[in-house]
Amino acid sequence: MSAAVVLSHVEKIYKRGKEIINVLHDLDLEIAAGEFLAITGPSGSGKSTLLNLIGGLDRPSAGEIRVGGERIDHMSGGELAHFRARHVGFVFQFYNLMPNLTAARNVELPLLLTHLNGAERKRNVEVALQLVGLSDRARHKPSELSGGQQQRVAIARAIIADPQILVCDEPTGDLDRHTADDILGLLRELNEKHGKTIVMVTHDQKAADYARRQIHVDKGQLAGAAV
């Protein structure tokens, strides 16, 4: 199986005044295409920084990062933004939906950067909302939806451009257990039935258990893995 993500000797350093903070240390990681990987670790361990590097939201201080065979750490800001729009979908803990837009319009937003016409965008939105089980909520605004429904809208938005990879940062952190399990089941379905590579950061072991593989990050290094 080919690799969707390869990190080689990755370092991430932040400077706070004269203080130098080493967040990630000489980290190597390979994620296979079609894998569902959970990244766990204590607060401040570097797991969210690692996720941001994989998603192209941040740059390494040293080392190489390849996503879909492309060296993203060498890309310019514009190239990286274009790459993210085509290849990476993002799901965050707090949904990041536009409150004044309907579910359908929120899902459509990434397609406004493409060359699709209005009819094509509408068809894609309908398919994405159907996939997450929200066809009947297309005209509802976020305030009219439950937390779980809002997260489903966010997932539909993340997959609307058919990305290779979904990066999920605590996607169930703001949800009750039952709703969290529904969302995790949806992510598993996107992985198993639709072949999406999913990389998820979570502090919740029950959420991590939905993944095919788990890795643990502690003090900026991989501290062990479980299948």
Pairing between β-strand 70-71 and β-strand 62-67 as defined by DSSP bridges: antiparallel
36-87 pLDDT, tens per residue?
A: 999 999 888 899 999 999 999 999 999 999 998 899 999 998 899 888 888 9
- Print burial letters for 207-223: b (CB count within 10 Å at least 16), e (below 16): bbebbeebbbbeebebe
CATH code for residues 34-60+77-226: 3.40.50.300
Amino acid at 144: E
> Side by side, which strands form the sheet with 62-67?
19-32, 3-16, 62-67, 70-71
Show me where the domains of the chain are located: 34-60+77-226
Contact at 8 Å (CB) between 125 and 137?
no
Pairing between β-strand 221-226 and β-strand 213-218 as defined by DSSP bridges: antiparallel
Contact at 8 Å (CB) between 210 and 183?
no
Q: In the chain, what percentage of residues exceed pLDDT 70?
A: 98
d(CA 208, CA 214) in angstroms, rounded, equals: 7
151-206 pLDDT, tens per residue?
A: 999 999 999 988 989 999 999 988 889 999 999 999 999 999 999 999 999 999 99
The pTM is what? 0.90
DSSP per position, 107-157: HHGGGGGSS--HHHHHHHHHHHHHHTT-GGGTT--GGGS-HHHHHHHHHHH
